[in-house]
Structures are given as C-alpha cells and as structure tokens.
Amino acid sequence: MSSKLRSLLKKIYLNLTRHKVIDALKIKIMEKVSFKIAKECSYKDKPEIFETIFLETRTLCNGNCSFCASSRRYRHMPWARKDKMMPEKTVKKVLSELKKINFKGRIAFHVNNEPLLEPRLLKFVKMARKACPQAYIQILTNGLLLTKDKGEKLLKAGINELNINNYSDKLVFRENIEEFLRSMVPKFPNVKIEAHLRKETAILTNRAGSSPVGIPINKPMRAMCGYPFKQFNITVNGDVGLCCQDLFFKQVMGNVNKKKILDIWFGSSFIWARKELLKGNRKSIPLCSKCDSAGYKTVQLKQLPFYWSFLGRLAMER
C-alpha cells in the first residue's frame, strides 16, 4: 500500500470516527486492550528496576506545537513553566546511584523539554556514558538547533540514539535536518539516527489534562497504564513525576535530592499508584483521572493476537 493511499484511508477513518459514540467505543477498546497487555507483561505493583530514566535538566522548549503546554506559543500564559535548570550536583547524584546498580536501561535527557537548549548537554552525556557504560543513551529533539557540529559531538560522546521529530504542518524536512542526515548517517552506522515528520497542530492525547488543545474526558477511564511500571521521570528541582504525561509534575512520587532513586521507585507512593492502575482505578489518582492516554504503546500490541492488536491500534488513532 502506498503512503498516499495509507494517508487517505487514515483521514477517512478519522473523519468517520469523530463522533461521541465512536469515541466512547474507542475508549472501551483501549481499556480492554490495556488490561490484556498488562497480563502479557506480568505487571506487578513492585516491578523490576525502571526501563528508562528521563532527566529534564532544563524546562524550556523552543517548539511551537499546539498540543503541548511547554510550547513557546504558550509562554505568555500565566500557567506557563518558567525557564529553570537542574543543578549539576543533582545530575551527579542520580548518575552515581545508577552507576552503583550498574544500570543498563535507557537514559534520556528530556521529559517535556528540548534537550538541545541545554548548554551542558554534551557534558552530561559524557558523564552518563562514564557512569553507565552499558546503558542506552537517547537524545530526542525537535532538531531546530541541530547542526552537524553539535550532533557529531553528541554522537562521538557515546549516545546510542538520536531521534529527531521534525514538526511541520506541510510535512517537509527542514534543510538543517536533511543536511545532518546526509552527512552523519553514513558516518555513524552503529548509532540509531532517525527523523520523523510530525504536524505542529496535531491533536494527540490530552496529556493528563495539560494539553491546551486536548479533548477532556467525561469520566475517568477504567484502564491500566504501563508508564509508572517502566519509567522514572525527574524534573529540574529533583521531583519525580508519576509519568511522562505529568508536564507540571503535579503527582510527585518523591525527590531525588532527598531520597535515593530506588527508595522512591520501590516506595509507597509508586506502589499505591501501581496497585490502583492494576485494578483500572484511574479515578483514584488525580493525574490519571483526567488522562485519555491508552496506557500502552503500539510496539506492545505485537504481543497480542491479531484481532486485539488491530483494534488496539485503531483505537489509538486521533
């Protein structure tokens, strides 16, 4: 199937499904699929160590996306986040603790920010690689500030992945990104370098109620969510959020400046939230009660029979 035909079919499908009854049906499907994936993944309220740790070392973003409250188009709003940076001692403490447990998962320098705005990023990447030689280090960027020099230094510093989301409503790659891909992909064949075209005005999830254009839900979903079982999100002041959807870090699980990472991960706040999610009780968690995220990723659908995988993917389409 050609990309044009696939795009046309998706547009037709989305137009057909923008109806309250269909929306309600899609939510019901997501709810059922979330529990099936939870069963396949054997989620527990006290899981193994997190797969990914996200370090938001600066709160600023230079993107202009309508769906994200961190976008520069909303900086004039009274609720907009102020530009703050994480103290280097906090980064060192986190990496020191990861080193002690020989962390082999993913380390990323973003939550809801643009990592290339962080002037210390290269230094932090080198620190992370030294502390955790077997970890998978990812940089996820919108590419606005990406240059061959800046990108090459990060690649040489030991990152495993450079993932670029090129936001453009015309779905056209920017010149600096095309030039970077042409010169760097052949030069670093063992590093995952990807670029994706995405629309600035896309309607995605409501990001637990924080998205300025997100669609509010009438009542909390009765669904599982895998994020608090897999990820550890830290913002500039050391606060740990429940998941990546918590842009304002309202549901705080602990603070890495006051407690050890593992004490927070296996602590009462996380365990309580996971138990509630395993029962589908999003309504009992303030953040989750407003969220319309499916609670699973498309890659996890591969673990299900084709029928449920197909429905789960359709239900996620916006």
Give the confidence band of 313 by pLDDT, cuts at 50, 70, 90.
Answer: confident
pLDDT score of 11 more than 90: no
Residue 165 in 3-state DSSP? strand
Count of Cβ atoms closer than 10 Å to residue 21 Cβ: 8
Regarding beta strands 192-198 and 136-141, do their DSSP bridges make them parallel or antiparallel, or are they unpaired? unpaired
The per-residue pLDDT for 10 is 59
pLDDT score of 91 more than 80: yes
Look-up: residue for tokens 């920010």?
113
Cβ within 8 Å of residue 159, ≥6 positions away: 125, 129, 137, 138, 139, 191
CA end-to-end span of the chain = 21
Q: Select from 209, 312, 230, 233 the least CA-distant residue to 274.
A: 230
pLDDT tens readout for residues 19-45: 566 677 888 899 999 999 999 888 998
Chain-centroid distance, C-alpha 150: 23
Angstrom CA distances, 31 to 56, 294, 297, 310, stand at: 30, 7, 13, 14
Q: Quote the CA–CA distance of 14 and 183 in Å, as a whole number.
A: 37
Look-up: residue for tokens 């370090």?
55
pTM: 0.91
Chain-centroid distance, C-alpha 109: 11
Across the chain, what does the average pLDDT equal?
93
Look-up: residue for tokens 């939550």?
111
pLDDT tens readout for residues 157-205: 999 999 999 999 999 999 999 999 999 999 999 999 999 999 999 988 9
pLDDT score of 124 more than 60: yes
